[in-house]
Structure 1
């Protein structure tokens, strides 16, 4: 599908903002112009957000949330 925003991003680059924080180091990004979604990879680069990477990020977010809750319970007691 043709989009002026996508064409603009091809020439001038994406304008990314954080759409979701997975952990302290992994985030999902979305372009404000064309809507393309990206995520951090294990080696520190950005990659297009595929269904497989989205599933992996959801799993990591669950693990991170459990660990964070466990630390909060241990601190309270």
Structure 2
């Protein structure tokens, strides 16, 4: 007897995003101008590029954002004191 597993709704939800656009929420704030976003429907993750456009959140982009966030936190901590 074969097991029947329910299919993921990701293809259907990605069609919704294709037709109506993504519904992004901020998942992490890197600096005052750069944030990471995630679509509530399909789960796509993006980040602001340095020119202000959305860019797919790759492993390399995550590392860059982590370093930038660390630098930004240190800079703000020093400027406060």
Length-normalised TM-score, structure 2? 0.84
**SS state at 2:26 partner:** strand
Q: Kindly indicate which of the two structures has a greater share of residues assigned to helix.
A: 1
Q: What's the CA shift string for 1:33-70, capped at 9, x where partnerless?
A: 11100000011100110111111000000000000110
Looking at structure 2, the residues matched to 55 and 66 of structure 1 have their Cα atoms a distance apart, in angstroms, of 17
Looking at structure 1, the residues matched to 70 and 45 of structure 2 have their Cα atoms a distance apart, in angstroms, of 20
Aligned residue in 1 for 2:42: 34
Length-normalised TM-score, structure 1? 0.89
Of 24, 34, 43, which residue of structure 1 is paired with 2:51? 43
Looking at structure 2, the residues matched to 18 and 43 of structure 1 have their Cα atoms a distance apart, in angstroms, of 18
Shift >3 Å, 4+ stretches: none
Task: Give 5+ residue unaligned stretches, structure 1.
Answer: none
* Alignment RMSD: 1.2
Task: Give 5+ residue unaligned stretches, structure 2.
Answer: 1-7
Q: Which has the larger radius of gyration?
A: 2
Q: How many matched pairs?
A: 73
